[in-house]
Amino acid sequence: MNEALDSAAGWPENEAVSRAASGEYVRRLGWICYGALAAGLVLYIVTIWIEVFLDTRKAPAFSPSVFDESHRHWRLRTTFIFLVWSILGGLTLPLGIGWLFVIPAYGWYLYRVATGMLQFARGKAIGMKRASN
């Protein structure tokens, strides 16, 4: 029964092929998420919802690599921290000091998106703390 469902859903039956296909799926999903983050500078709420929705999904029967997990966490942290600072800036705009929060938040957001995309394109994990000996 499960095999029929897997093949109907388009998942390969062979586990090795399934893992490779899932890896490609996760990689493609990563690019979509970074695209949503980049579009978030203009289409704020919609892209934040898309990015969080996509990054909180897991590929079925797939254990993500350190690379995939590091980028997923990087995107989620970027989204939520930007959201907090943007809301704080939006609430203080009537007081005239909101721009002190909004402009640096957008600059930081742009930096995080660009850094994440560059490291993703290079195939390197991001935001990982190195063990010091």
What's the rounded Cα separation, in Å, for the pair 3 and 1? 5
What's the rounded Cα separation, in Å, for the pair 25 and 38? 20
What b/e string do you get for 49-86 counting C-beta neighbours within 10 Å, with b at 16 or more?
Answer: ebbbeebeeebeeeeeeebbebbbebbeebbeebbebb
What's the rounded Cα separation, in Å, for the pair 106 and 121? 22
pLDDT of 6-25, one tens digit each?
A: 444 444 454 444 444 566 77
| pLDDT (0 to 100) of residue 49 | 75
Q: Which amino acid is at 89?
A: G
Q: What is the DSSP letter of 41?
A: T
* pLDDT surpassing 60 at residue 36: yes
Residues 6+ apart with CB under 8 A from 38: 113, 117
The residues spanned by each domain of the chain are 26-122
Q: Which amino acid is at 57?
A: R
- The answer to whether 75 and 29 have CB atoms below 8 angstroms apart is no
pLDDT of 43-83, one tens digit each?
A: 777 777 777 777 776 655 455 678 888 888 888 888 889 88
Predicted TM-score (pTM) of this structure: 0.68
